[in-house]
Structure 1
Amino acid sequence: MQITMTVNGTDVTNEIEPRVLLVHYIRDVLRLTGTHWGCDTSNCGTCVVLMDGQPVKSCTVLAAMADGHAITTVEGLATGGTLDPVQQGFMEEHGLQCGFCTPGMMLTARALLDVNPHPSDTEIRRAISGQICRCTGYATIVRSVHWAADHPAGLTEADAAGGDPSALDDSAGTTTEPGAAAAEAAQAIPAAQTEPEEVTA
């Protein structure tokens, strides 16, 4: 059968078997492997994507059921080369360790913030309750979502400068060319010995 859907803003059309799950269509046909496939029993939530803005577990949805709908995967979060505030929040607050659950967690967070720009801890935990993280204990994930809520425009230059606008002023002190500090540090490291020492009996 033929299906057509919008994936990350682009219309795609493919011939598929009616039994193909959305998670396999996304990963194997579209090659968008940021959508992870975990338990295959709808328990872990690593396969979450957004369908028309709502989180769905793509291992429980047939690809044919997504025909005519808009799908967003983790690859579609960033726009124009700029990370989504949710992605930046997970970086700033260390909302991941192994990272396997992270794509689904971030998409659920994005959907939550779209309808509730300032959720409480309880509301965040309720939103992600269908997804399992075996690494973080969820606390850093909750903080990551709060960071995104507090920075709807993402990471600004002032944020990057630690909140000190003067740090962005090239005239306020000596500036260093990009990579110069790393080059100086590399020069300070003794060269590795390339020839093995002669061993005598």
Structure 2
Amino acid sequence: MTRTIPLTLNINGSPHELQVEPRVTLLDALREHLNLTGTKKGCDQGQCGACTCHVDGERVLSCLTLAAQVEGRQITTIEGLSTGDGALHPVQEAFLQHDAFQCGYCTSGQIMSAVACIREGHAGSDDDIREYMSGNLCRCGAYNSIVSAVREAAEADR
């Protein structure tokens, strides 16, 4: 018999009650239990960044974070970035304007990292952006467009 625990996860401003096994990752809780599939499962080993989301405003790799570890904290996924009226976040807009995606699989993780990059003040130069974003892999190689999008969003944020 598999043991489960009750959890309340605060995701994108709303509480979600779950009953999960203690070893369930935040990524699996989001995708499999709450149908929030914008956060992607890439490598499932913390190496690609596709699963990046924010916990209390800081980026985390949700494939390496247990859901139980983030109970009571504020979790933001790609679905929670847009405003209440449906307008895209400025980083999402910049990604569209700079065509900073191709297949799109890594895009949600790239955007979540880009938002943190700007918020934490790591977007001072293209080299700074590349360094901060280096944990997010793009198998299509859209890195130059991603850097341009982050730079534009950072400049608009100033």
Question: What TM-score, normalized to structure 1?
Answer: 0.72
Q: Which residue of 1 aligns with 2:140?
A: 135
- Which structure has greater strand proportion? 2
- In the alignment, which residue of structure 2 is the partner of 1:3? 7
CA distance in 2, matches of 1:105, 1:117: 14
Match of 2:51 in 1: 47
- Answer whether contact 2:122 2:132 (CA < 8 A) is retained: no
Given the alignment, which residue of 152, 158, 161 partners 2:157?
Answer: 152
| Range with bigger deviation, 7-16 or 93-102 | 7-16
| Aligned-pair CA distance for 1:109 | 0.7
Paired with 1:18 and 1:89, the residues of 2 have a C-alpha distance of 38
1:20 aligns with 2:16: no
What CA distance in whole angstroms lies between the structure 2 residues aligned with 1:68 and 1:4?
7
Quick check: 1:121 aligned with 2:126?
yes
Measured in 2, the distance between the counterparts of 1:67 and 1:137 equals 35
Size of the aligned set, in residue pairs, is 153
AA aligned opposite 1:57 = L
Which residues of structure 1 form unaligned runs of 5+? 154-201
**2:71 corresponds to:** 67
What per-residue deviation string (whole Å, max 9, x for no partner) do you get for residues 23-43 of structure 1? 000001110000000111211
Bigger Rg, which one:
1
SS of the residue aligned with 1:4? strand
Q: CA RMSD in A?
A: 1.5
Q: 1:76 aligns with which of 66, 73, 80?
A: 80
Q: Secondary structure at the match of 2:150?
A: helix
Amino acid at match of 2:132: A
How far apart, in 2, do the equivalents of 1:84 and 1:137 lie? 20
Write the letter of the residue equivalent to 1:75. Answer: E
Shift of 1:141: 0.2
- Determine what percentage of the aligned residue pairs are the same residue: 43
| Residue 33 (structure 2) aligned to one of 21, 29, 32 | 29
Instruction: Flag as ranges the 4+ runs of structure 1 deviating above 4 A.
Output: none
Structure 2 portions without partners, runs of 5+ = none
Query: How many angstroms apart in 1 are the aligned matches of 2:58 and 2:14?
Result: 18
Alpha-carbon separation, structure 2, partners of 1:133 and 1:117? 20
Give how far 1:118 is off.
4.9
Instruction: Tell me by how many angstroms 1:140 deviates.
Output: 0.4
> TM-score normalised to the size of structure 2?
0.91
Question: Which of residues 82, 93, 98 is equivalent to 2:98?
Answer: 93
1:127 deviation in Å?
Answer: 1.4
